[in-house]
């Protein structure tokens, strides 16, 4: 069974997720605590990419994060090109 990360999750795996979110251009501290900021960023990412929005990093959202990191997607570059037009204000 795959790990699922949500508000209240803590540890090295959360740090790894937060570092990937930083790489994607989201402003947060990689402190290992899945709090409100991490939750809100996950929600924004899910909205941007048309995923079911639950603020939880399960297998599908983790795959999305990993794929976008591998593609070098970045929020600031996307915004410079007018995308997303709604949903994310991280």
Q: What is the pLDDT of residue 84?
A: 66
In whole angstroms, how far apart are CA 76 and each of 9, 23, 24, 26, 57? 27, 11, 9, 9, 22
Which parts of the chain sit beneath pLDDT 70? 1-2, 84-90
Residue 70's DSSP bridge partners are: none
**Residue 81: its pLDDT value, please?**
81
pLDDT of 90 = 46
Q: What is the pLDDT of residue 78?
A: 84
Q: In this predicted structure, what is the pLDDT of residue 33?
A: 98
Which whole-number Å values give the CA distances from 74 to 22, 43, 88, in the listed order? Answer: 9, 16, 13
pTM of the model: 0.88
Distance CA 90, CA 71 (A): 20
């Amino acid at each position: 069974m795959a790990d699922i990360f949500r508000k209240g999750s803590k540890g090295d795996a959360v740090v790894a997720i937060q570092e990937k979110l930083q790489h994607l251009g989201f402003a947060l501290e990689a402190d290992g605590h899945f709090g409100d900021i991490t939750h809100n960023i996950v929600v924004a990412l899910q909205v941007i990419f048309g995923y079911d929005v639950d603020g939880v990093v399960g297998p599908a959202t983790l795959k999305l994060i990993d794929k976008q990191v591998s593609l070098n997607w970045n929020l600031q570059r996307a915004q410079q090109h007018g995308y997303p037009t709604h949903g994310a204000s991280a």
